[in-house]
Chains A and B, each alone.
Chain A
Amino acid sequence: MTDTTHLNGGEATAPLVKRLGPWIGLAALLVVLPMIFSTNSAIYTMNLMGIFVVFALSYNMLLGQGGMLSFGHAVYFGLGGFMSMHLVNYIEEEIFVLPIFLVPIFGGLIGLVFGVIIGSFSTRRAGTVFAMISLGIGELMAASSLIFVAFFGGEEGVSGDRTMGPNILGVDFAQDIEVYYLIAAWAFVTILLMYLFSRTPMGRMANAVRDNEERAEFIGYSQRKVRFISFCASGFFAGIAGGLFAINFEIVTEENLNAMTSGVVLLMAYIGGVGFFIGPIIGAVVFTLLQTLLSNYTEIWQLYVGVLFVLTVMYVPQGLTGILAMHGPAFRMQRLGILVVPYIRAGLPTALMLCGIIGFLEMIHHLRAAAVGETGMSLAGIEFDTHAVMPWVVVVLMGSVGAFLTKTQMPQLREAWDQANAPLASDKGVTS
């Protein structure tokens, strides 16, 4: 968990372009995206992505920045969502007059309030105590939400209508694309704010407490207060994500604050890489893509996500961003070219192996789940009979041949990797 993506302090006066460049790029990307991917399902996916990006980043304020492992972060997301939904309903009944696009800030304030209340006792200790309290609070809230039907709406949840607010500049959020720009704007602002937070004295001390909570006390900071402030800020941003969720889906249910959602946000942040600011962004994007795209093609997508998650924890604890960052030194030395051919040579058999494994799993699933008598299945456009022997031979061959070939290609890949990363004589001690 190094902060390699941050500018380090000595470079305080990096050129303006370098500092603002990524942000201008992000803004432009957010504006342009729906023009490239303009189908309804693409907009749907991107809206969900935006919400999850904010949610996952807020989670990483705890785990990656502050060293607090939470199993109940959905509480702030869900409560922000429920309160926002109620607010939307009040706006509809004209009890309040508030433009809809300001609702997320209300969700954020709710997240903040609950962050203050719960953080006041849960941040006393880090480590396992914190993790267990967060789990307990999460379960407590999830169970309560099914009891207090008047507020949480029971199993059906609370729904509302986002189009009934005061109409500003002719935008009534009846179209998904309007909601897209609302989410994009909020995502941009919150990403910027969360990044800036990490660059304040408070954000730096959050890292310090994560690294060594005891020493932080000997340089003047109360570890508890540092964790508390991080926790409140995290709750605030999670609440904003919840508010965006409420506006986007016009329904919030118990599921949005239960353990499943808490698990999903941990998964997103971890797969993306908790040691990097952009890690959770990448994680949220990848997860949403997996969820929406994969679920179109296969019923067992969650199995794949589970495998991906466990493999990530075991072999790539730095996450996907970590893999990208590993290429940093080679990139700076302009040696990435060396890796292209070895990657292809190792990648093709790996892909073959994966195809074999996936085919095998899908066929088993088909055997078990398909209606009785239905033996034909279609995979990647190929029709075949799962009760015949041939398809099984094919997938097993693909898997084993792929695995064998991958193994033969590993030495050359390792060699190329060492060659690409061999330090220049001038800089030693740079870790990858």
Chain B
Amino acid sequence: MSELLFFSLLNGIVTGLLLFMLASGLTLIFSMMGVLNFAHASFYMLGAYFAYTISLYVGFWLGLILAPLLVGVLGALVERYGLRYVHRWGHVAELIFTFGLAFLIEEVVQFIWGKETKAYHEPEILQFSLFTFFGQDFPAYKAFMLLVSIAIFIVLLLILTRSRIGLIIQAAITHPNMTAMLGHNVPLVFMGVFGVGCALAGLAGVIAGPALGTFPGMAVVLGSIVFVIVVVGGLGSLTGAFVASLLIGLLQTFAIALDYSVSDLLAVLNISVDAESALRDLWALSLPQVAPILPYLLLVLILIFRPTGLFGKRET
């Protein structure tokens, strides 16, 4: 039991920090520009694909650096020539634009790289087991993911709290109009934040690609989850995004690890059920089975009972 807990905890943290890399960019973009970027996870996917293609020629490590930069530039271009143009049609159009972009990017990825999963692997020096605990291996690559995520988290924290640009960004989050008055080039800051947010998503894609698979559906798999995180944590709250990322990461790994079903619960309560009834699926329902719906259940409940999210100050 304790090894199960240990590994679930570790895996949950790895997943959670990875999710935070996506969620932090998304929540920054939302709080500054008021745009929930549906295509955010698509940039994550692009990161993985770019890194895959780059790694074919110059290896994993250059891909790790170049791919996020490329994605960031692409994101900045999308903001400059897409989003800023659509802005004139209003908020709904912006949302729909990013929604269409997500659709389009998936099609483009299939067009360029095909539908099948790409053989994008971790570099050989990371293909070993870091340690073995209660007979279970912990791969070095996971530790690497953990390290990169933590490093990014610390850098982000430092930039936001210590640097001038970080202060401007924080000001822009809380008082978007005031910042313009203070003479800062808000459109440029927007473009920068959008680009950096996308680059972060791209980086997450680069390191997640080998572990979770590089395929055209990878954006969809993560896209809605990241939305859940941002809303549950509270729109515009980085702290909230961090807590919610870990929460969702742990929730998912633990739900998969703990194989209990409703009938187990009913057995504890001494209720017996008819195995042939139409509701049999309900009784047989186990935690790993419901794992995929838990985040969405959380999202809906949060939106109903606490629309500001866990840490948010303003309603969506």
Contact = CB atoms under 8 A, between A and B. Distances in A.
The answer to whether A and B touch directly, with their CB atoms under 8 angstroms apart, is: yes
Interface of A: 63, 67, 69, 71, 121, 125, 127-129, 131-133, 135-137, 139-140, 143-144, 146-151, 259, 263, 266-267, 270, 300, 302-303, 306-307, 309-310, 313-314, 317, 361, 364-365, 368-369
Instruction: Pick from B231, B299, B300 the residue with the most CB of A within 10 Å.
Output: B300
B306 to A, nearest CB: 11
Nearest to A365: B111
B104 interface: yes
B99 A263 contact: yes
Contacts of B220: 259
Contact of B280 (A129, A150, A266, A303): A150
B182 interface: no
B103 A263 contact: yes
A44 B86 CA distance: 37
A369 B114 contact: yes
Interface of B: 36, 82, 85-86, 89, 91-93, 95-97, 99-101, 103-104, 106-108, 110-112, 114, 220, 224, 227-228, 231, 235, 278-282, 285, 289-290, 292-293, 296-297, 299-300, 303-304, 307, 315-316
Contacts of B93: 313, 317
Contacts of A131: 36, 95
Given A121-B304, A125-B315, A368 B96 contact: no
Contact of A135 (B85, B103, B224, B293): B224
10 contacts: A127-B316, A135-B224, A135-B227, A137-B300, A147-B281, A147-B290, A149-B281, A303-B108, A303-B111, A306-B107
Nearest to B36: A128
Given A127-B316, A135-B224, A365-B111, A140 B97 contact: no
A313 B315 CA distance: 26
Contact of A143 (B235, B296, B315): B296
A150 B316 contact: no
B285 A270 contact: no
Contact of B303 (A136, A143, A270, A364): A136
Nearest to B286: A147
A415 to B, nearest CB: 25
A129 B303 CA distance: 7
Given A69-B96, A303-B104, A365-B111, 13 more contacts: A71-B99, A132-B36, A132-B227, A133-B300, A150-B280, A151-B278, A266-B99, A303-B108, A306-B100, A309-B103, A309-B104, A310-B104, A314-B97
B231 A132 contact: yes
Contacts of B289: 147
Contact of B281 (A127, A129, A151, A302): A151
Nearest to B304: A121
B293 A147 contact: yes
Nearest to B82: A314
Contacts of B300: 133, 136-137, 140
Contacts of A125: 307, 315-316
A314 B315 contact: no
A161 to B, nearest CB: 21
Nearest to B315: A129
A125 B315 CA distance: 10
Contacts of A309: 100, 103-104
Contacts of A313: 86, 89, 93, 96-97, 100
